[in-house]
Structure 1
Amino acid sequence: MERSAWPKNLSSSGKRTIQDLLHGQNPTKKLADLFDTHSQTSNDTGQPLFAGHMVVNVLGSFSNTLSLSSSDQSDEVLQVRSNACVRSEVSEGSESINTPLPRKTSNTQIRLDQNLIDGGHSRRTSDQKSILDRKLPVWSRQSLMEVATAISEDRAEVAWQILTRMSAIPPNPIVKYSERKLMEYMLSALKSRVSPVDNPPPVAELFTKDHLLSAQSLCNLSPCFKLGFEAANLAILEALLEQPSTNKLHVIDFDIGLGGQYRDLLRALSTRQAGNQSTLKITTLADIFNGEERLRMVGDRLSKLAADMGVRLVFNIVSQKLSELSRDSLGCEADEVLAVNLAFKLYRMPDESVSVENPRDELLRRVKGLAPRVVMLVEQEMNGNTAPFKVRIGEALAYYGALLQSIQSKPWTVESERARAEKGLSRKLGNSVACEGRDRVERCEVFGKWRARMEMAGFELKPLGQHVVKSMKEMVGKYLEHAVKEENGGVCMGCGGRTLTVASAWH
């Protein structure tokens, strides 16, 4: 640009900036042309790629420009590594020529990534640098998947460096709450996976009273879990109606929890008995984690509620091995409708991938031998059992992201209950991601796999009545972003387009 063409109000520093930029155009163009020529020829370019002096010229012009334009501000920190060099490869030889860049001594320093210096022509032998240099948002699902990839390929050091980088930077405050919690829980779980000694993963915690309370809070807050139990109750009542000659219902529950499902079942029986008192017998099994004392407390609470509602309740606690289960040992009678409730039970039982005893299939075989009128299966819809580790991480991100969104659907919830539910979710996610073998308690499957397993055990799918589906759709209507649909013989409950739980009936 000629000086006569400069605006009158242009400062002297501005004029010098323009001059330096114009000065840098020529070596920059030459450098680009040289790289293009070198990359487009298949073998020998006819000359080695000596580009060091041109890089220095370009950087020099940019450095001068930056120093002038920022003279009234604090120093920029864009630093060139002191050992940075231009590396070129000669096609017919094995040597590479390194041309060192002069170190900047001015207050303004330029940070130049090695990718720019190499011009994209040097071939890295380290996957670690490739991952760490990738321009990803620090707190993102994609960054977490990079960690999963590194772990899957036995590159624990790379995984730990990405996790360390993520931990050093707080999450973006504009990201919605459920997504921030998901990132936090997954980050903690992956740390436990890479360094379990320093970050012990949750195992025994999944069998504590605190986690039991968390599970109850989760069922209270997430419509998908609540609807799963409601579907089980409706199918059990439907089986009772199929035998109008009796008003005795016997439910065998292998994991009764705090008994919340049966409070709703008692209410339903109370409204249907029409002068003829109904009898509900509940048989539950005690084990090392579900002790008789706790189960007795659950039975006492339910007995009091049943008395208030005018329903006769018989609550039995049985301590037996799976191999000892029979109709006689469980107190089954000929004049009662027998139902088995497997709501959120099977996924916590080891299968053939964990144990040669395969308790999961053993339980199904024993249940089949009881000849129940209906068996209710309610499970979380997530491919988290035998899937490869990287697939499990992707599934966990999608599933728990939607589940955290689901429990945010009731803004009037007491904060302590929400915090308790979220703590339980963090333990579940942590165990699913960080543990293997018997320590991995969380082993969810998708409905297709449950269906195959049930059929192999001799069960047949029992379609749920239309009134069951209709009732559930009416219930979910008041919850934003939640939906109920029928699919492949099961009733699916989901949030944000993701199925979270599936209920199905079998006989």
Structure 2
Amino acid sequence: MAHVRQIKYLLSYRYTTKSQLPNRNNVVAGYFTCYQNPKQKQCAPTIYRDSNLKIKTTPPKSLRRAYFVALSMMQFTTSVPYLHQTKTHFSNSNPSSMNKNNQIPNRNTNIKPWFPTSKALTNFGDTNCMEQLLVHCADAIETNDVTLAQQILWVLNNIAPPDGDSNQRLANSFLRALTNRAAKNGTCKMLVEVSNARNNLNIETHRFSIIELANFVDLTPWHRFGFTAANASIIEATEGFSVIHIVDLSSTHCMQIPTLIDAIASRHEVSPLIKLTVADHANIDQIPFHVPPMLDLSYEELGSKLVNFARSRNVTLEFRVVSSSYTNGFASLIEHLRVQRLVYSGEALVINCHMMLHYIPDETLSLIHDTNLNSNSNSYVYDTFSSCSSSAAVTVTTTATTTSLRSLFLKAVRGLDPTLVVLVDEDVDLTSNNLVCRLRSAFNYLWIPYDTVDTFLPRGSKQRQWYEANICWKIENVIAHEGVQRVERDENIGKWEQRMRNANFQGIGFGEECVGEVKAMLDEHAAGWGLKKEDEHIVLTWKGHNVVFASAWLPA
């Protein structure tokens, strides 16, 4: 059987003379696979069209990819930029067919080259084409195909400037992430020098003051949607309680709490006592990354300002910080709450999870074996990599079922018998261990923040730079990192719903008053934002696409 020796492609497609081919068929030049015959060393074309222009043989995937990149390059130059000096052989090469610069002239024909896409490939500003290029680049980097990866990076640098339109800036962010991944991937390290000439690969995330962060969060419904839905649900669930204990697991550093304090103060003549507990991982060494947005002050200072704000609204607020991290499923926080429940059993306990739980490791990062996962258990089981000093953390070696810290955290929360659990997160799945699958999922979701930014922030503004730097950070973490370094592991609403039900929670719907408040909030923003209800949940949409979901849960 013949073996593939090498694949060559042309930058222009043309026909050889009919007399050169068997059965007088036309070859689509650009698709050539050279087979080495054990008896006769010769190269024969394997991709051709008959007189009816039907493809007789399907080109291999690697050849289709190479031709796609070559066709992309035709839009910018007739010469190919190589990292290394390579010698390319052409079928029916003729010195007269070369121009004076030894370049192949671009010969237009009426026959389109074969490629598996429904859209024309000449529109390289199209997001589908950019996605294809990014996918091929990721595949080339993973297989250490330096030449092909460099060629695709070169094309992307031409069609995706960092200051272009929303689609170009999106593609540029993925380009930076792929370049950073290449820096860690064997022989592809040399590609960093190529992209460094065009892009600064360092992402500078801003540290916000409280006022800056409050204004930043209010720019878009991305967070305000969850704040509004959660506050309405919390007020309804805690009606009649004299003490409300709120555990705020939020990526926005308690920016939801001032509006909640205002809402509570306006509904009660004598406001209930509010206890606010937050998890702080600023001083924990095991944290791989500090996730943006980041504050420029400590949680103790933040708590002092919140207490003063609550006092100005005639609300008594107790603020407590527990040193705990998402890396081990907030183990020390769970133990602290367990002790508190034994002492203060009559208070309303609300677990408010706002875009934070997807940082807890899931099944794709580590497998944890637990022999006792029923909801009445007081044991909280961790994997052997957990660095928790809490007495609640144990390692179980007997294998019965396989689960993750994410599911174990929810089961531990269920063991606290909370009054309400609010879960708000981004409706996208970024957990795949396959880079290409993860890239496609991220690309088809993260176009939304780039598309929305034009509606509320002008070009060149500081806030816009901060906003897009945070998106770039997320893209880089999803694409360039693996293992414990990859902390952005979002799951869609379906997976979270299954986890909550497995932990013995039941969903409750949002009332008309809550939905009305969310709609009123959306009216303050651009017309593209919308709201839809899915079962008991509500979902924030942009131009009809799911963005963020909000859900409320009670112990079953």
TM-score (norm 1): 0.70
AA aligned to 1:269 is: I
Q: Distance in 1 between matches of 2:97 and 2:203?
A: 55
* Residues 1:182 and 2:192 aligned together: no
Q: CA deviation at 1:284?
A: 1.5
**Distance in 2 (alpha carbons) for counterparts of 1:355 and 1:376:** 26
Counterpart residue number, 1:277: 271
Larger radius of gyration: 1
Check conservation: 2:18, 2:24, Cα contact below 8 A. no
Paired residue secondary structure (1:351): coil
Q: 1:102 to 1:443 in 2, by over 3 A?
A: same
Equivalent residue for 1:333, pick from 335, 339, 344: 344
The answer on 1:322 being equivalent to 2:306 is no
CA distance in 2, matches of 1:172, 1:207: 16
Instruction: Describe the shift of the 1:421–1:120 C-alpha distance in structure 2 as closer, same or farther (beyond 3 A).
Output: closer
Aligned equivalents of 1:419, 1:462: Cα separation in 2: 39
In the TM superposition, residue 402 of structure 1 has moved relative to its aligned partner by: 1.0
Of 29, 38, 59, which residue of structure 1 is paired with 2:24?
A: 38
Give me the whole-angstrom Cα distance separating, in 2, the residues matched to 1:218 and 1:280: 26
CA contact (8 A) 2:131 2:440 kept: no
> For 2:153, which of 163, 173, 191 is the aligned residue?
163
Q: How does 1:97-108 map to 2 (within 5 A)?
A: 98=92, 100-102=94-96
Aligned partners of 2:479, 2:180: CA distance in 1, in Å? 9
Q: Matches of 2:494 and 2:344 in 1, distance apart? A: 34
Note if contact 1:477-1:483 (Cα within 8 Å) is conserved in structure 2.
no
Answer whether contact 1:249 1:280 (CA < 8 A) is retained: yes
How far apart are the structure 2 equivalents of 1:344 and 1:137? 35
Structure 1 residue aligned with 2:223 = 225
Q: Which has the higher contact order (CA 8 A, sep 6+)?
A: 1
Aligned length: 418
The Cα of 1:247 is off from its aligned counterpart by: 3.2
Look up the match of 1:436: 482
Q: Check conservation: 1:150, 1:159, Cα contact below 8 A.
A: yes
Give CA deviations for 1:138-180 in whole Å, capped at 9, x if unaligned. 675423433324534644422332012222456498x6x3223
Aligned: 1:148 with 2:135: yes
Residue 18 of structure 2 contacts residue 25 of structure 2 at CA under 8 Å; is this kept in 1? no
1:194 deviation in Å?
2.2
Partner of 2:534: 487
2: distance between equivalents of 1:328 and 1:430?
37
- Choose from 388, 404, 426 the match for 2:450: 404
1:62-211 to structure 2, matched below 5 A, reads: 87=91, 98=92, 100-102=94-96, 111-112=105-106, 135=122, 137=124, 140-152=127-139, 154-155=142-143, 156-157=145-146, 158-168=148-158, 171=161, 177-196=165-184, 198=192, 209=207
Identify the structure with the greater helix proportion.
Answer: 1
- Tell me what 1:236 maps to: 234
- Per the alignment, residue 544 of structure 2 pairs with 497
- 1:248 is aligned with what amino acid? V
What is the CA-CA distance between 1:422 and the residue it aligns to?
1.4
Please say if residues 485 and 493 of structure 1, whose CA atoms lie closer than 8 Å, have aligned partners that are also in contact: yes
Go from structure 1 to structure 2 and tell me whether the alpha carbon gap of 1:468 and 1:204 turns closer, same or farther (over 3 Å shift).
farther
Query: In structure 2, what residue type is equivalent to 1:249?
Result: I
TM-superposition CA deviations, 1:424-443 (whole Å, max 9, x none): 11111111121111111111
Q: Does 1:266 pair with 2:261?
A: yes
Separation in 2, partners of 1:460, 1:264: 27
CA contact (8 A) 1:432 1:440 kept: yes
Identity %: 23
Q: Which runs of 5+ in 1 are unaligned?
A: 1-27, 42-47, 50-76, 88-97, 128-133
Structure 1 position 417, deviation (Å): 2.0
CA 1:214/1:169 → structure 2, altered by over 3 Å: closer, same or farther?
A: farther
Give a deviation string over 1:88-139, Cα, whole Å, max 9, x none.
xxxxxxxxxx5634366779986146x98xx999x9xxx9xxxxxx755167
